[in-house]
Structure 1
């Protein structure tokens, strides 16, 4: 059957369907457990969480499901130079975004405090709690860490946006590699070159990787139904990862207006922008993202840009100025149908089964 793949075997799941792990407080225990309990692999994006929070989240997931699940971290969790952020750099950003703060009627924030990386401490928690799957973006953990994961029975999954990154991950010895196409919503997890260079679509990237690497591949980006899963498997993927469709379900922690926008006509238009976080990411097109195109020189490095934008985002939500907010979402958003995670999983399984059954008849 179509679901008997290397990914299903490695991950210990019934169906090679993965829920994309959402960072920025968009993941929930409820969504992660719902997908895992339905036979797929639920995922929790924890890169913004403290080590203690990750420990508590893991305890909650273990109570909600006895099935395998994935916890995701970012290997590179900031882009701040060693010299730090200068007053001149901050003033340039403040001047660039001042018209939006004025429009919202709020003062510009102070210069963000220095950021301390959390990854090493977060990593220790992963090794302690031993989730079935540890996925990571924006780089690769050390060979020693990967070996510790192997000895602990933790399946490691890296993300590639280019063929070069896939080959790098393959040589590093990770267990599975995500082919992250540029159709996907959220941040582009590039790590060998700038994200603006990672403009290969999912199915092209998948085919290139299939020719050049030996590691099982997970296709991600532009997949939201059974036909998309079937296409990925047909082209050589061992599993499909679905993000936006699960982000739109009731179980995710996205704002109600965010979910409403994903099911609206606005979902037809998406933009890749650095304006909101300092890193390149896709969301539903906003006025700010459009007007800031070509002004990337004035953004703060990640995550300082996120911290700087936070008061503006909060005010825009309170004032219902939706055109000032970049709601994360992929290019596939216009075909979304389901608001319940279990119903979405059932549909994905039934549609994929029906597709392959139709080929045999």
Structure 2
């Protein structure tokens, strides 16, 4: 397997996942400077009617600040950044946002909720690569058939709109036929989990929840505190809030006056991005997270999250090598 050049040379083999509302230029820049791919959903950049296009301003700031960093630190350049496009029929901004991202030559495009040829072509038109997130093998084949360069396997335990399948099953089925870039999402919150993702056959891990509890993240302080006070048993899977199955913090659901153990289901037709959000305003304080949050125990900088995972990753790799050598003796 050979990774595209844009995904090589990272400090650790990881991409920071685009977090709804939470990922902003401050967080993306910090992630990239720390040596992992930073990302944000295009729909996070929302301007009021009549105001200048915020996505344009965000891309300008990220591009120019990373360029300045690279010029000042040629021996320690920043990782590239990615923009997430929601390819859903209700996203009326999609074509506008594709044009803006192509003009700014976004290097990595992450697509969700639909695979479309024209989106991948837009990425390729400016020299970028397209990574599409999938929850099963059938969707993975469709994405590659439509021109995606790589896949993000969203397995059980991932934050946000998570798939139901075990990473052991999902990665294996995809690797049976696909040898291109493959990322794994689902409770990748430690260096050990990151190494395990590679052992399974993924090239990189997709890390989300640990970056919620960072200084740079655009998250409510109570959200950050709730996340670090919770563990895997506090994660509830429900389709009620967006129409698509997702993982959420049970304390935030209880605070909204609902019983996490008795939530009704919602139809996928309830999902809409017409106002830039997939979550009805009534549920704006229902907070998402993945099952790996037990590893997150303090509010720190994005750079500290990357440093912790790097240390854990190197130690786990050393232990695995030592155990393999001992087994041969």
Aligned to 2:101: 126
Deviation at 1:259, TM superposition (A): 0.6
Deviation at 1:265, TM superposition (A): 3.6
Tell me: CA distance 1:301–1:357, structure 2 relative to 1, closer, same or farther (3 Å): closer
2:260 to 287, 290, 308: 290
Aligned to 1:20: 17
Show the 5 A alignment for 1:89-104. Answer: none
Maintained 8 Å contact 2:240/2:264: no
Aligned to 1:326: 286
Tell me: CA distance 1:50–1:122, structure 2 relative to 1, closer, same or farther (3 Å): farther
Aligned to 2:72: none
1:240-293 CA distance string (max 9 Å, x none)? 010011112121111100010101146631112233233332111223263762
For 1:232 and 1:308, locate their aligned partners in 2 and report how far apart those are by CA, in whole Å: 30
Aligned to 1:164: 138
Maintained 8 Å contact 2:242/2:266: no
Give structure 1 stretches of 5+ with no counterpart. Answer: 79-115, 189-197, 315-324
Deviation at 1:6, TM superposition (A): 4.0
Show the 5 A alignment for 1:308-323. Answer: 309-310=280-281, 312=282
1:72 aligns with 2:84: yes
Maintained 8 Å contact 1:6/1:238: no
| TM-score, with length taken from structure 2 | 0.82
1:179 aligns with 2:153: yes
For 2:89 and 2:314, locate their aligned partners in 1 and report how far apart those are by CA, in whole Å: 39
Deviation at 1:202, TM superposition (A): 2.6
Maintained 8 Å contact 1:31/1:341: yes
2:40 to 38, 44, 51: 44
| TM-score, with length taken from structure 1 | 0.75
1:21-64 CA distance string (max 9 Å, x none)? 112x2112111111111111011122243592111111111233
- SS of alignment partner, residue 260 of structure 2: helix
Show the 5 A alignment for 1:96-115. Answer: none
Q: CA RMSD in A?
A: 2.7
For 1:218 and 1:227, locate their aligned partners in 2 and report how far apart those are by CA, in whole Å: 15
Tell me: CA distance 1:250–1:308, structure 2 relative to 1, closer, same or farther (3 Å): closer
Deviation at 1:357, TM superposition (A): 2.1
Maintained 8 Å contact 1:30/1:64: no
Tell me: CA distance 1:308–1:272, structure 2 relative to 1, closer, same or farther (3 Å): closer
For 2:218 and 2:288, locate their aligned partners in 1 and report how far apart those are by CA, in whole Å: 12
Tell me: CA distance 1:154–1:161, structure 2 relative to 1, closer, same or farther (3 Å): same
Aligned to 2:305: 344
Deviation at 1:157, TM superposition (A): 0.7
- SS of alignment partner, residue 22 of structure 2: coil
- SS of alignment partner, residue 122 of structure 1: helix
- SS of alignment partner, residue 291 of structure 2: coil
1:206 aligns with 2:171: yes
Aligned length: 298
Greater Rg by CA: 1
Maintained 8 Å contact 1:277/1:303: no
